[in-house]
Structure 1
């Protein structure tokens, strides 16, 4: 799928592992936005990113992979009609529409797979850029988890649950 600004989003393959790790590693090492151990190994991080029930994607611009996402069922059984997704952008590519293209793709992909809604279970409240972008993309904050995330510099900060009904979205 080629979207706005010439960004192409496609399913990730094993050939993309180095590029995906180059995106995930600085995000995970910083420890400010994901509930992932800061010292996670490359192999464990990639296994988690590609783990079922998720499908991994990459966003390319000008022949370079600058972002990645994974989208799949939030929970099995009674929660399987709600999608979940995670996103990461190469640090030097922020502000170029990569994350917005990934979230728009994730919503369209989830709708095409029959998901009725999408939920982000744990958005770190201090990740202001992400919170703003997800709200701009139509997600509402439906829950706040006080002090649920141990930020490496700020200490306990809130986690947010964000939700969007995909059946009402064009």
Structure 2
């Protein structure tokens, strides 16, 4: 399996937006409800600390966006979102996106990574995050409105990004 990572380029924008909007339309993982158009999506990506594409054998499989979780005195904690093309989901590739984002966050000087709204039913993501060293630090009962109109619990996860923590990560990440 030939996995490579690279920063996004302007040529990637339509495909990245399509992947993101597919996840929004699914209504089970990302909190947003409004689909992006190209100018809005380009502006959102420009605000990120990093946008990294993952290619499998030269084909875009997914990507992550990375940015501070908050402002000012809390800006040393990162947040990331992961977006995988539907045809690449369920292949065990998500762990590589997460691992790469953790390394990138550490390189950028972040001291931790926090996820604010991991939907309880997103079992694959929860498994990947926990295997990458994240701990559940909070639960918001009924905090996520699913597309079908029901409410799901969501979790807040955190992982420190100390040098020793990054060094302990497998090279397969």
Q: Deviations for 1:45-76, whole angstroms, at most 9, x for unmatched residues?
A: 4433x042432111001111010100121111
3-state SS of 1:158 partner: strand
After superposition, the Cα gap between the structure-2 partners of 1:122 and 1:51, relative to the gap in structure 1 and judged at 3 Å, is farther
Aligned to 1:147: 142
Is the contact made by 2:67 and 2:78 (CA closer than 8 Å) also made in structure 1?
yes
Q: Deviations for 1:24-59, whole angstroms, at most 9, x for unmatched residues?
A: 12211111111111x4133234433x0424321110
Q: Distance in 1 between matches of 2:114 and 2:61?
A: 24
Which residue of the other structure, out of 24, 27, 30, is the alignment partner of 2:23?
27
Aligned to 1:59: 54
For the pair 1:7 / 2:19, whether they are aligned, the reply is no
3-state SS of 1:95 partner: coil
Is the contact made by 2:17 and 2:36 (CA closer than 8 Å) also made in structure 1?
no
3-state SS of 1:161 partner: strand
Q: Deviations for 1:70-91, whole angstroms, at most 9, x for unmatched residues?
A: 0121111111111110001111
Is the contact made by 1:7 and 1:98 (CA closer than 8 Å) also made in structure 2?
no
CA positional deviation for 1:154? 6.0
Is the contact made by 1:59 and 1:98 (CA closer than 8 Å) also made in structure 2?
no
Matches within 5 A, 1:59-138: 59-138=54-133
Q: Which runs of 5+ in 1 are unaligned?
A: none
After superposition, the Cα gap between the structure-2 partners of 1:148 and 1:51, relative to the gap in structure 1 and judged at 3 Å, is farther
Q: Which runs of 4+ in 1 moved over 2 A?
A: 41-48, 95-98
Q: Aligned-residue CA RMSD in angstroms?
A: 1.5
Q: Which runs of 5+ in 2 are unaligned?
A: 168-173
Aligned to 1:158: 153
What's the TM-score once normalised by structure 1's chain length?
Answer: 0.89
- Between the two proteins, the alignment pairs up a number of residues equal to 164
3-state SS of 2:155 partner: strand
After superposition, the Cα gap between the structure-2 partners of 1:6 and 1:17, relative to the gap in structure 1 and judged at 3 Å, is same
